Amino acid sequence: MVAVSYHCPRCGAIAELERDAYLADKCVTPEPRDGWTYADAYDDFEDADGVVIVCGAAETDGEGCGEPYYLSFVRFVDGEEVEPEVPVDDVRFDFRR
């Protein structure tokens, strides 16, 4: 087991999780990824696709904004890495350059 630190994407508070070193982090986001399953930070999350962390809970030493955020692990299906589906509403292009 290793201790790994994560920053809340909203307020920057630091959370620390004890987890197996073989788990590969994909991203930390304020919203869950479509198709990913999330376990609570205090549960066994070895079989989940990620962890939901509540900012300000025990893993953040009581400091933080109180909002949940999501640690997503790298997922593989048939040996291929799976990317989360991004809803069309979330895609933005900036053509003002």
pLDDT by residue (tens digit) across 5-64? 999 999 999 999 888 888 888 899 999 988 889 999 888 888 899 999 999 988 777 779
Domain boundaries, the chain: 2-90
Task: Specify the length of the chain in residues.
Answer: 97
- For residue 10, the one-letter residue type is R
Q: List the beta strands (DSSP E) in the chain.
A: 2-7, 14-19, 25-29, 38-40, 50-54, 68-73, 75-77, 80-82
